């Protein structure tokens, strides 16, 4: 047998360069590049291998290991998990920096290959720089922390272990039912050690991803269950998009007159305007999907994990006789809510079920309810997009006069009734310091109207995902990219880069809060370096807005969630901080704009589109002008005892919420 003498790292690079996947349309290259932040733990091993013989792998320079892994995860998500990137980090802090993004990828079931450097397998120089010493167990390193956030974890302590490690890595990375972050820890000495690898290990390998077919018995049982129901409701989860099942869902809904709600991962599988698409469902869902969810006698989850946001902490599906049916490639997710489970790919399952229902001549009994619910939501969305700060004189004057106060009152009432009182006091101050008259819902309405329909929007954390799941209308498939499995602040901008690498021809817009921008935006520099234009739409409301809402809705006062200077009372209660985000990005070379009026926003959006390089629009928005809940409860950890009456009341609301929710 032919053998090739290579270092472990060289063998790894050669192997990655030969991996292909076939999802039914012929072989396609699987690993497209390697994101790197080099340090002593990887530059002389994996770095050397990538320099000498990278094959067709592009080497990218990340700025922050978390950011680069987010970019890799977003690349995979936008590629519907058919293309991946690898990420290599140095030992110790470089590796540890990948943990948050590894968890994000795994929670969202997105394949990324992580290659953290590790301490010496020989232990000769121990403790090496950045080594953590566990006195009770010298085999534990920082990289063991990845076990908790990976779908597959391995450490290659001898060159020949690479082969079984990588074959297993590929098994998991290409598994539609159980993929996520795969971590292969590489001790820095082993990366450079040579071995005679069998040539066969480096042959072109095509991983055939065969659609998982439902069993006929499952389909019969599912069809019988549906036949007995009048008001079934579908849920379109991420599995519909990953499984390319948008068309199958659409025709299924149409044939049997069954509407569907969208999860964050499922949105944009089917156009928002489709007559059976109710839009976002759950805690961040809209009034239409949530209203029909209350009355559904059967919930059919297609490719959904049924998170607490989708089920409203298991309270949303309130029909006394509601039952659950699931179509999911993962037996684990299919079994949720004690459902009748059909373990299959979404398209295969829907098509088989359609044939069985056709035979039974099934049709739902919604009548005109679907169209009416959709219409009433369309009106509410229009109202939200039209809410304006009370116009009149200059902002200072607005804050003073009695007539303006009633205007503010009304504005507060348009959004979150629970916090209207607080808003009354604070809105004039915010309007003045931020110098803006824009509301968040108004801004979203304009962005949705103005940017190209085939542009991709990305979000992850803060109040924007909720507003977008409710308000965003997407007509072109796969234009809505939301990371809501982990809702990880910092994913947005890094992820936008990953999307742009996956789809260079389309405009990409990262919708990001000021808090999330501050947390992590360094891959913006990588977008300039790679000449991959991304657009950052930064909505600055001077705080962790959604968390401020949460604490105030649950009886607390504002604390630690607004961006205020420390005040004379020793608390974070001083003046609001005004931050010039446009100036921060301009320093990198990003083309920047500022918007605090409708006209400025429209002008900036038009100019950003024309720009050749990455852009950022610093949009000042009034806090609390986001959407609120539409009939969906969320179980949060409220204090059981407190001296504050408002907290006691919140706790009592939680108790009564729990009484109406399913226990499992
Ligand atoms: C990495 C990370 N840390 C903390 C949180 C908890 N968290 C969720 S939203 C949020 C505030 C987000 O603020 P901002 O980005 O300004 O959005 P806004 O709610 O103001 O729209 C925080 C701290 C999180 N989701 N991710
Ligand atoms: Mg904010």
**Residue of the CA atom closest to atom 5 of ligand 1:** 489
Rounded (5°) CA angle 568-638-338: 150
**Residue of the CA atom closest to atom 13 of ligand 1:** 544
Ligand 1 centroid to residue 482 C-alpha, Å: 14
- Tokens describing residue 230: 């009048």
- Collapsed DSSP state (helix, strand, coil) of residue 591: strand
* Statement: residue 424 has pLDDT above 80: no
pLDDT band at 52 (very low <50, low <70, confident <90, very high): very high
Q: Where are the alpha helices (DSSP H) in 415-544?
A: 420-434, 440-450, 464-471, 491-502, 514-519, 523-529
**Closest ligand 1 atom to 100 CA:** 1
pLDDT band at 523 (very low <50, low <70, confident <90, very high): very high
CB of 487 within 6 A of ligand 1: the answer is yes
Chain position carrying tokens 């105030």: 552
- Nearest Cα to 120, choosing from 99, 100, 98, 143? 143
Q: Per residue in 276-302, pLDDT tens?
A: 999 999 999 999 999 999 999 999 999
pLDDT recorded at residue 389: 74
* Statement: residue 401 has pLDDT above 60: no
* pLDDT > 90 in the chain, percent: 92
**Closest ligand 1 atom to 487 CA:** 25
**Closest ligand 1 atom to 548 CA:** 19
pLDDT recorded at residue 417: 59
Ligand 1 centroid to residue 492 C-alpha, Å: 12
* Statement: residue 330 has pLDDT above 60: yes
Ligand 2 centroid to residue 621 C-alpha, Å: 9
CB of 489 within 6 A of ligand 1: the answer is yes
- 60 close to 110: Cβ distance less than 8 angstroms: no
pLDDT recorded at residue 428: 83
- Tokens describing residue 361: 């001549």
CB of 621 within 6 A of ligand 1: the answer is no
The total of other beta-carbon atoms located within 10 Å of residue 112's CB is: 34
CB of 514 within 6 A of ligand 1: the answer is yes
Look at the chain and count its residues: 664
pLDDT recorded at residue 251: 98
- Tokens describing residue 548: 């401020």
Cα–Cα distance for residue pair 279/260, rounded to 1 Å: 8
Q: Per residue in 251-273, pLDDT tens?
A: 999 999 999 999 999 999 999 99
Ligand 1 centroid to residue 661 C-alpha, Å: 27
CB of 546 within 6 A of ligand 1: the answer is yes
Question: Beta-strand (E) ranges in 490-582?
Answer: 508-513, 535-540
* Statement: residue 558 has pLDDT above 70: yes
Q: Per residue in 476-513, pLDDT tens?
A: 999 999 999 999 999 999 999 999 999 999 999 999 99
Question: What is the Rg, in whole angstroms, of the alpha carbon atoms belonging to the chain?
Answer: 26
pLDDT recorded at residue 387: 86
CB of 459 within 6 A of ligand 1: the answer is no
Ligand 2 centroid to residue 623 C-alpha, Å: 8
Return the axis-axis angle of helices 464-471 and 369-386, rounded to nearest 10°.
130
Cα–Cα distance for residue pair 216/359, rounded to 1 Å: 14
CB of 485 within 6 A of ligand 1: the answer is no
pLDDT band at 412 (very low <50, low <70, confident <90, very high): low
* Statement: residue 545 has pLDDT above 50: yes
* Statement: residue 395 has pLDDT above 50: no
pLDDT recorded at residue 121: 98
485 alpha carbon, closest ligand: 1
- 33 close to 54: Cβ distance less than 8 angstroms: no
Phi, psi of 18 (to 5 degrees): -110, 15
pLDDT band at 405 (very low <50, low <70, confident <90, very high): very low
pLDDT band at 402 (very low <50, low <70, confident <90, very high): very low
Rounded (5°) CA angle 466-584-607: 70
Mean pLDDT of the chain: 95
Q: Where are the alpha helices (DSSP H) in 362-419?
A: 369-386, 395-400, 402-414
Q: Is 29 left (phi over 0), alpha (psi -120 to 50) or beta?
A: beta
**Residue of the CA atom closest to atom 9 of ligand 1:** 462
Ligand 1 centroid to residue 516 C-alpha, Å: 6
Q: What is the pTM of this model?
A: 0.96
Report, as an integer, the average pLDDT of 192-212. Answer: 97
Mutate to test the pocket of ligand 1, among 458, 471, 516 (most ligand atoms within 8 A of CB): 516
The total of other beta-carbon atoms located within 10 Å of residue 138's CB is: 13
Kindly tell me the sign of the dihedral angle through the C-alpha atoms of 292, 293, 299, 303. positive
Ligand 1 centroid to residue 461 C-alpha, Å: 5
pLDDT recorded at residue 418: 58
* pLDDT > 70 in the chain, percent: 95
CB of 542 within 6 A of ligand 1: the answer is no
- 345 close to 243: Cβ distance less than 8 angstroms: yes
CB of 464 within 6 A of ligand 1: the answer is yes
* Statement: residue 397 has pLDDT above 60: no
* Statement: residue 243 has pLDDT above 70: yes
Mutate to test the pocket of ligand 1, among 488, 492, 493, 544 (most ligand atoms within 8 A of CB): 544
Looking at the DSSP assignment, which residues form a beta bridge with residue 21? 28, 207
Q: Per residue in 467-479, pLDDT tens?
A: 999 999 999 999 9
546 alpha carbon, closest ligand: 1
CB of 581 within 6 A of ligand 1: the answer is no
Ligand 2 centroid to residue 388 C-alpha, Å: 19
**Closest ligand 1 atom to 514 CA:** 16
510 alpha carbon, closest ligand: 1
**Residue of the CA atom closest to atom 7 of ligand 1:** 462
Ligand 2 centroid to residue 541 C-alpha, Å: 5
Mutate to test the pocket of ligand 1, among 484, 490, 547 (most ligand atoms within 8 A of CB): 547
């Amino acid at each position: 047998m032919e053998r090739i003498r290579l270092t472990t790292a060289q063998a790894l690079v050669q192997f990655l360069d030969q991996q292909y996947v076939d999802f039914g349309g012929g072989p396609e290259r699987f690993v497209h590049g390697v994101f790197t932040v080099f340090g002593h733990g990887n530059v002389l091993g994996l770095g050397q291998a990538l320099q000498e013989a990278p094959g067709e792998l592009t080497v990218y320079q990340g700025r922050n290991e978390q950011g680069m892994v987010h970019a890799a995860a977003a690349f995979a998500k936008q590629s519907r998990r058919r293309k991946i990137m690898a990420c290599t980090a140095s030992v110790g802090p470089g590796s540890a920096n990948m943990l948050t993004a590894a968890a994000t990828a795994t929670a969202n079931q997105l394949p990324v290959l992580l290659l953290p450097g590790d301490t010496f397998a020989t232990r000769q120089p121990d403790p090496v720089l950045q080594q953590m010493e566990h006195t009770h167990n010298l085999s534990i390193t920082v990289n063991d922390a990845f076990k908790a956030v990976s779908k597959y974890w391995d450490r290659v302590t001898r060159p020949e272990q690479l082969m079984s490690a990588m074959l297993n890595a590929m098994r998991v990375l290409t598994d539609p039912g159980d993929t996520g972050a795969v971590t292969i820890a590489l001790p820095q000495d082993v990366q450079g050690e040579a071995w005679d690898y069998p040539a066969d290990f480096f042959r072109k390998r095509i991983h055939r991803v065969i659609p998982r077919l439902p069993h006929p018995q499952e389909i019969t049982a599912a069809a019988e269950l549906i036949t007995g129901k009048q008001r079934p409701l579908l849920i379109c989860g991420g599995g519909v998009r990953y499984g390319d099942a948008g068309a199958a869902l659409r025709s299924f809904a149409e044939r049997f007159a069954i509407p569907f709600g969208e999860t964050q991962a499922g949105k944009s599988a089917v156009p928002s305007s489709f007559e059976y698409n109710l839009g976002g469902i759950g805690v961040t869902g809209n009034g239409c999907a949530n209203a029909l969810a209350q009355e559904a006698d059967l919930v059919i989850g297609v490719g959904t994990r049924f998170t607490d946001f989708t089920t409203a902490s298991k309270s949303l599906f309130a029909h006394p006789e509601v039952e659950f049916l699931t179509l999911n490639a993962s037996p684990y997710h299919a079994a949720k809510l004690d459902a009748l489970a059909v373990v299959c790919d979404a398209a295969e399952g829907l098509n088989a079920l359609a044939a069985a229902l056709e035979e039974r001549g099934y049709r739902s009994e919604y009548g005109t309810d679907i169209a009416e619910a959709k219409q009433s939501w369309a009106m509410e969305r229009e109202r939200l997009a039209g809410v304006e700060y009370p116009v009149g004189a200059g902002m200072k004057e607005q804050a003073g006069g009695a007539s303006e106060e009633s205007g503010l009152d009304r504005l507060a009432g348009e959004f979150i009734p629970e916090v209207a009182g607080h808003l009354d006091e604070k809105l004039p101050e915010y309007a003045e310091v931020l110098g803006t008259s824009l509301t968040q819902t108004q801004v979203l309405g304009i962005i949705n109207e103005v940017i190209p329909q085939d542009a991709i929007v990305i979000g992850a954390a803060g109040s924007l995902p909720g507003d977008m799941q409710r308000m965003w209308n997407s007509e072109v498939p796969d234009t809505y990219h939301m990371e809501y499995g982990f809702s990880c602040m910092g994913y947005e901008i890094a992820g936008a880069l990953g999307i742009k690498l996956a789809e260079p021809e389309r405009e990409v817009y990262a919708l990001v809060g000021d808090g999330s921008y501050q947390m992590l935006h360094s891959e913006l520099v990588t977008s300039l370096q790679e000449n991959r234009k991304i657009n950052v739409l930064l909505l600055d409301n001077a705080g962790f807005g959604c968390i401020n809402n949460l604490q105030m809705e649950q009886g607390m006062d504002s604390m630690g969630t607004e961006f205020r200077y420390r005040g004379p009372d020793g608390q974070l209660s001083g003046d609001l901080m005004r931050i010039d985000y446009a100036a921060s990005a301009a320093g990198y070379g990003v083309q920047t704009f500022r918007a605090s009026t409708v006209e400025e926003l429209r002008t900036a959006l038009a100019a950003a589109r024309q720009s050749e390089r990455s852009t950022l629009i610093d949009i000042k928005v009034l806090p609390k002008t986001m959407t609120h809940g539409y009939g969906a409860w969320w179980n949060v950890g409220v204090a059981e005892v407190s001296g504050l009456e408002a907290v006691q009341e919140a706790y009592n609301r939680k108790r009564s919420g729990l009484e109406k929710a399913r226990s499992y």
